[in-house]
Structure 1
């Protein structure tokens, strides 16, 4: 079962909303320095909207607010629908928006995050940095990635239960190779 889930996450990351672009900038980060940063500015307005709406969804999941996650998921689905090839990812956001169960929302967030992380790796960043974070305990030990605007880990899979569980795995931004 673990192999199947890992395979699905890898498959999602390769499809990345079917965006045909080069990875402009990534950098592996060894540790998780604590600090804050402004959200990155992206060159494509539609992708910027996806990023901004994704961050809202992540933040309400950190707060363990299933109702807020429903609203944020609905808005993210609208933003994703404006990008060709992101229909399946928009469907994942819609599943979050239609769920009354926080645990189910977080499971859908795992697959959604795989797609959104891959999309961001294939977009041009005007300024700032995006942080790819990872919690090895998410999804019953299968692990889960997410994007953040800051290096400080705030875990959307566990909220207050394990707020700082995780680490920065990658930085996406101007000048990162």
Structure 2
């Protein structure tokens, strides 16, 4: 029995070591494969305040997923839906409004799914929401610098991207399971 416990501990230690090394190696490979290009978002004064409230609700949602809180993620999703509904596109250039409407529709859909799903479902829809937020910021602007981050281990090693207000990586896809797995891909300002 004692021998089995020792074997199980060794196996667990080995798995943790392999996962840690895989994350570090995948990070290194992803950095080499991609020259992180800074996403140049329009920093404009026209809607940065309204855009900022949408971004704030997104960041609240990200933090809830980092904390493994399904309930808080659902609440943040509801807040985000409210902030999206309040967003006025009147000051967005006419040539960009059609694209922004499509981006907002995607964000609404993903936020709606997050309000009613379990944490695994919330995380799956968060990935699409993150892409929509990057596209949203490219048109509407951002009042603060944001960091596009990436975890190469998410989604069966296909990876997953998210946006953060700080450079320090706090992974919303794995939460406490792999909290610091990932790296900064780009700076958005």
- TM above 0.5, one fold? yes
Correspondences of 1:97-112 after superposition (within 5 Å): 97-99=115-117, 101-112=118-129
Distance 2:188 2:41 in 1: 9
Q: Check if 1:156 corresponds to 2:160.
A: no
2:52–2:142 Cα contact (<8 Å) kept? no
Which has more radius of gyration?
2
Query: Would you tell me which structure has more strand in proportion to its own residues?
Result: 1
Q: Check if 1:24 corresponds to 2:42.
A: yes
Q: Check if 1:137 corresponds to 2:153.
A: yes
SS of structure 1 residue aligned to 2:167: coil
The residue aligned with 2:25 is none
The residue aligned with 1:51 is 55
SS of structure 2 residue aligned to 1:122: helix
Q: Check if 1:90 corresponds to 2:94.
A: no
Cα RMSD for the two superposed structures: 2.1
2:41–2:142 Cα contact (<8 Å) kept? no
Q: 1:70 aligns with which of 70, 74, 79?
A: 74
User: Any gaps of 5 or more consecutive residues in structure 1?
Assistant: 1-21, 26-40
Query: Would you tell me which structure has more helix in proportion to its own residues?
Result: 2
Runs of 4+ with deviation above 3 angstroms = 22-25, 123-126
Distance 2:41 2:58 in 1: 20
TM-score normalised according to structure 2 size: 0.66
What do residues 116-165 of structure 1 show as CA deviations (whole Å, max 9, x unaligned)? 01211333344x41000000111222211111010000000001111000
User: Any gaps of 5 or more consecutive residues in structure 2?
Assistant: 1-39, 90-100
Q: Check if 1:61 corresponds to 2:65.
A: yes
The residue aligned with 1:8 is none
